[in-house]
Amino acid sequence: MFRLNLKIALRNLWRNRGITAINVGGLAIALAAFILVTMYFTYETSFDKSNPNYKNVYVVGVSYPEFKTNYIAAPFAKAIKQTYPEVESVGLIKEGSFELTIKNGKNTLFTKNILAVDYNAAKILNIQPENGLTKPSGEVERLNYLSKESMQTLFPDKKDNKPEMVGYGASNSGITVVVAGSIRSNEHSNFVFDGISLAAELGEHDNYDMNDYSIFLKLKPNVNVANLEKKITDLYRYELLKNNTSKKSTAELKAISTFLDPLSNLHLRPKAGNDMPYKTLIALSVLGFLILVIACINFTNLSIAQAANRAKEVGVKKVMGAYRSQLTLQFLTEIFIQCFVATILALILAELVLPYFNNLFQVGLSIWQVDSDLIWQLPLILSLITLIAGIYPAMVLSGFKPALVLKGNFSTSKQNSWLRNGLLVFQFCIAVVFIIGLLIINSQLKYMRSQDVGFNSSQVVYIKNLTLFNNPVKFGSVSFNPVRDRLLKIPGIKSATVASFIPGGQNGINSYEVNASKANIDFVNVDFDYFETLDIKLKEGRFFLNTFKTDTINSAIINESAVAKYSIKNPVGQTIRGCGIDYKIVGVIKDFKTQGFESIVQPTIYTIKDPCGSYKTQILLKIEENKMADALAALKAQWPQINPKDGEDFRYEFLDELYGKLFKKQEQLQSVFFAAALLTIFIAILGLFAFAKYITNGRIKEIAVRKILGASDVQIFKLINSSFFIMVLIANVISWPIAYILTKKWLETFAYRIDLPAMPFVSSALITILLTVITVSIQAKKAVKANPVDALKYE
């Protein structure tokens, strides 16, 4: 029976190969997109799942009135462990603050992230050196490990995992360190590193003012996390009050709370961070699913449209004794064959597109992996689409009554006609939403690229540097003035400065007071010429100047948001207090968007001296455009003399490229919507093309009669297009409110955004109506130009 069904299925598919090609092609394209989305979804939602402690690991965060952070004081880790028995283990991690240069002879490695990890954190997060995890002895000893890739760079011929001596910093630094071995750096983890500095304990001598560690907890099974959160908040307030190092009032402490963020949240939607990756993933997943739904609708629509051609076949088989279940199985076999072929084609298409997809999302996905979830997901998807796309057409085709169809009285029921029209409307609804979404995303991105961000990153070069520049009284720091003097002697360099943070990165946060009003605001430690190098606009007062000696002691510049935050009238000359210093405000700058368009400009203070601040390591140079190449070449040649600590390791990036990374997620979303809009329109038009062909063929005799009675070609074109025109118009009317709500919610994720425009809604209607008229008219042309005699000669 199966062989017979298979033969009949293949013959029918070949007989209707045009429709079969449209069905299989549309489904293959949609499946290829769905396969890529499924692979990406699986990848993004499985970070750190290889960790056996995955479900019981949490990071401790702190909520302030103005922000949330995962950075906290190291002593609090010990307080938690000693107080709460439900906490099985507590570990500390400290991220590297700058790139570190490691050398082995002529082989040089620039590490971006060396993590300082204590023994407990390594166990909690399943960080395993190749030689096994060993606890360092004593408080001072550190075991240093480098990732396999890093070891390969330094020791390309190394075959064993024995300890090796390496140099830190420039060749003339004289600093050497023993690398104990290699360590697995799991790229599919929130903790990606070039190396690990393993300690028995971390932060033993730190206090509650130094919030630069991450605390990880491993909880015992079945712990009430919400209840533990409340208890940890009470403990944190108590510890701050007891140590009295933060100098916060009781009212301020009540506004501070802690939270526990599970390991499963950290990659996509951390409580202290941006959840845009999660929203992008959800949007991408919905798009992939809807594209597949459209293809399945096409399949269903075309199968029902062909019902009349299969009616007599069904009638004869039923008269010969075939059961409805047998006919249903036969039609499902046909549909399964088409779906199977579409799946094979989809895999080929996905493989061809995968390099572009990986490049867009900066991932390394592969279809042909032994441990890929696709091995079980594909058969499941194939079964589901066979049932979804085929069960209703199979039931309709197998349900014809023999007596009626053999008399020639068969006609497609009104119910089937209504369903076909409804499915076509639904297809275009999805297509319209995608078109509107794409146009609005384009408008927002165009707005972001064209708006003045408040500073000029063009021709500004950011030099990666190891030297600590700060107040000379601080241990290990040096003055930037001699370096600036040497830099300015190079032709083409217009200005040079150094700061603790650069636009596009995170600023520091501290508590400052103005007229008895206290608040946590951003701070940036800068040097002379910082504002001039970035072309930041002055609103009132002045910039820092070498001619004013007090500028290096207690002068400050604030931005407009800080003025508004403290409600300061006539701010220039007033006092703002922080970190034990009374700063005199000498200038107010206009707000500039350091964090792009998603985050509102934060109140910020800029100072040259800040005992509680960070070291200044970020060197910024403004270089003339026509002298850029020569200036960079001169910098590379002279760098060992200009900045001996970095020596021969001159590295730089262009600030505009760094700042441009803030737009990456939105550009990804734009690319995704562009592809989704094209795919949905293409698949919908494919279905419309075949559907219009069947509708037109079914009205050939009607068209012939109308032509004999004097109807013109234009009138017949209008007649055939009218029903499709109405359906597409209905689809637009239904889609507009949906698209309005979705795009409005998306725009609300931006602090600075466009007003929702009307033009995308009008454009979507024009595009879909125009495409519909063209598609239907192409099919109708053959019927309109046909000789009426050919259609009526058998009547």
C-beta of residue 459 within 8 angstroms of C-beta of residue 621: no
Residue 545 phi/psi, 5° resolution? -135, 140
Mean local confidence (pLDDT), 292-311: 70
Domain for residue 380, yes or no? yes
pLDDT at res. 318:
66
Domain closes at, from 596, 629, 648: 648
Residue pair 3/335 in contact by the 8 Å Cβ criterion: no
Q: Looking at the domain assignment, is residue 642 inside a domain?
A: yes
Tell whether 110 and 256 lie within a shared domain: yes
* pLDDT reported for residue 475: 46
Beta bridge partners of 213: 72
Sole residue written with tokens 């021969």 = 648
Most confident range (mean pLDDT) of 378-387, 458-467, 730-739 is: 730-739
Contacts of residue 654, defined as CB under 8 A and 6 or more positions apart, other chains included, come to 457, 460, 461, 462
How far is Cα 709 from Cα 711, in angstroms, rounded to an integer? 6
Mean pLDDT of 83-110: 85
Say if residue 620's pLDDT is above 90. Answer: yes
What does the pLDDT average to over 377-397? 75
Q: What whole-number distance in Å separates Cα of residue 780 and Cα of residue 739?
A: 32
At 472 the pLDDT is: 45
User: Contact 142/196 with Cβ under 8 angstroms?
Assistant: no
User: Do 635 and 513 share a domain, yes or no?
Assistant: yes
Stated as kind and residue range, the H or E segment containing 5 is helix 2-15
pLDDT at 101 over 50: yes
Are 575 and 583 in contact, with CB atoms under 8 Å apart? yes
Closest CA to 519 of 240, 248, 213, 273: 248
How far apart, in whole angstroms, are the C-alpha atoms of residue 435 and residue 443? 12
pLDDT at 143: 84
**Cα(102)–Cα(171) distance, integer angstroms:** 9
Least confident of 71-80, 144-153, 292-301, 307-316: 307-316
Within a domain: 363:
yes
Confirm whether 58 is domain-assigned: yes
Of residues 206 and 442, more confidence is placed in 442
In a domain, 374, yes or no: yes
**Is-contact 200 137, C-beta < 8 A?**
yes
Output the six-digit token pair for 251: 């009212």
Do the strands 555-559 and 581-589 form a parallel or antiparallel pair, or are they unpaired? parallel
Residue 95 is encoded by which pair of tokens? Answer: 């991220």
C-alpha span between 702 and 105 (Å, rounded): 88
Rounded-to-integer distance, Cα 501 and Cα 618, Å: 6
Is residue 599 pLDDT above 50, yes or no? yes
Sequence-distant (6+) residues with CB within 8 A of 85 are none
Residues 396 and 524 placed together within one structural domain of the fold: no
Residue 575 dihedral angles phi and psi, to the nearest 5°: -110, 135
Is 70 part of any domain? yes
List Cβ neighbours of 446 (8 Å cut-off, separation of 6 or more). none
Looking at the fold, whether 251 and 275 belong to one and the same domain comes out as no
The answer to whether 531 and 495 are in contact (CB under 8 A) is: no
Residue 696 structure tokens? 């037109």
Query: In this structure, are 528 and 644 located in the same domain?
Result: yes
Tell which phi-psi region holds residue 247, choosing left (phi > 0), alpha (psi between -120 and 50) or beta: left
Q: What integer is the mean pLDDT of 582-596?
A: 90
Return the ∠ at Cα 763 (arms to 757 and 767), rounded to 5°.
160
**Which residue do the tokens 């991220």 mark?**
95
User: DSSP code of 590?
Assistant: P
- Of 392, 412, 432, which residue is a domain's last? 412
Q: Is the pLDDT of residue 527 over 70?
A: yes
- The two beta strands, 575-578 and 651-654, are unpaired
756 within some domain: no
**Position 624 pLDDT exceeds 70:** yes
Asked whether residue 585 carries a pLDDT value surpassing 90, the answer given is yes
**For residue 329, pLDDT beyond 80:** no
What is the per-residue pLDDT for 192?
82
What percent of the chain stands above pLDDT 70?
85
> Looking at per-residue confidence, does 269 or 684 come out higher?
269
Together in a domain, 250 and 293: no
Dihedral (C-alpha) 624, 625, 631, 635: value to the nearest 10 degrees?
90
Which DSSP category does 222 fall into?
Answer: T
Query: Phi-psi category of 568—alpha, beta or left, where left has phi over 0 and alpha has psi -120 to 50?
Result: beta
Residue with tokens 């995890």: 133
Residue 398: burial class (beta carbons within 10 Å; 0-12, 13-18, 19+): buried
Average confidence (pLDDT) over 595-614: 85
- Would you say residue 409 has pLDDT above 60? no
Range scoring the smallest mean pLDDT among 75-84, 234-243, 303-312, 746-755: 303-312
- 542 burial (CB, 10 Å; 0-12 / 13-18 / 19+) is middle
Confidence of residue 473 (pLDDT cuts 50, 70, 90): very low
Does 79 share its domain with 146?
yes
How many residues does this entry show for the chain?
Answer: 795
Number of compact structural domains in the chain: 3
What is the spatial distance between Cα 172 and Cα 332, in angstroms, rounded to a whole number?
75
- Dist CA 316 CA 705 (whole Å): 32
Domain presence at residue 34? yes
Burial of residue 532, with CB atoms counted within 10 A of its CB: 0-12 exposed, 13-18 middle, 19 or more buried: middle
| Cβ neighbours of 707 (radius 10 Å) | 19
* Residue 680: per-residue pLDDT: 78
Query: For residues 447 and 638, is the Cβ–Cβ distance under 8 A?
Result: no
Task: Please check whether residues 275 and 139 belong to one and the same domain.
Answer: no
Helix (H) or strand (E) holding 361, with range, is: helix 324-361
The phi, psi pair for 506, rounded to 5°, reads -80, 140
Name residues whose C-beta falls within 8 Å of residue 74's C-beta, 6 or more positions apart in sequence.
92, 202, 203, 204, 206, 210, 213, 215
Q: What is the mean pLDDT of residues 266-288?
A: 83
- Asked if residue 418 lies in contact with residue 425, where contact means CB atoms within 8 angstroms, the answer is no
Q: What is the pTM of this model?
A: 0.78
Q: Is 648 helix (H, G, I), strand (E, B) or coil?
A: coil
For the segment 542-553, the average pLDDT, to the nearest whole number, is 87
Q: Which carries the bigger pLDDT value, residue 561 or residue 481?
A: 561
pLDDT greater than 80 at residue 333: no
In angstroms, rounded to a whole number, what is the distance separating the alpha carbons of residues 714 and 785? 11
Name residues whose C-beta falls within 8 Å of residue 522's C-beta, 6 or more positions apart in sequence: 507, 508, 509, 602, 603, 604, 605
The mean pLDDT value for 395-401 works out to 65
The two three-digit tokens of residue 94, written as one number: 């400290």
- Expressed as residue numbers, the domain containing 256 is 54-265
Q: Could you read off the pLDDT of 630-659 as tens digits, one per residue?
A: 999 999 889 888 887 777 778 888 988 888
Distances (CA, A) of 153 to 109, 149, 183: 7, 6, 14
Distance of CA 64 to the CA centre of its chain: 26
Buried b (16+ CB within 10 A) or exposed e, 234-259: ebbbebbeeeeebebeeebeeebbbb
Single out the residue in 648, 672, 699 at which a domain terminates. 648
pLDDT-derived band at 216 (thresholds 50, 70, 90) equals very high
Query: Is 423 a residue whose pLDDT tops 70?
Result: yes
Q: Are 249 and 128 in contact (CB under 8 A)?
A: no
- Could you tell me the two tokens for 340? 């199977």
| Alpha-carbon dihedral sign for residues 298, 304, 305, 310 | positive
Count of helix runs (H) and strand runs (E) in the chain = 23, 23
What CA–CA distance (Å, rounded) separates 404 from 580? 96
CA distance 557 to 526: 10
358 and 240 in a common domain: no
Give the whole-number percent of the chain exceeding pLDDT 90.
Answer: 18
Q: Does residue 121 surpass a pLDDT of 60?
A: yes
Is residue 251 located within the same domain as residue 365?
no
Q: Domain check: are 32 and 178 in the same one? A: no
And the tokens for 396? 């309709």
pLDDT number for residue 594: 84
Q: Is the pLDDT of residue 559 over 90?
A: yes
Residues 338 and 189 both lie in one domain = no
d(CA 354, CA 280): 18
User: So what's the pLDDT on residue 255?
Assistant: 80
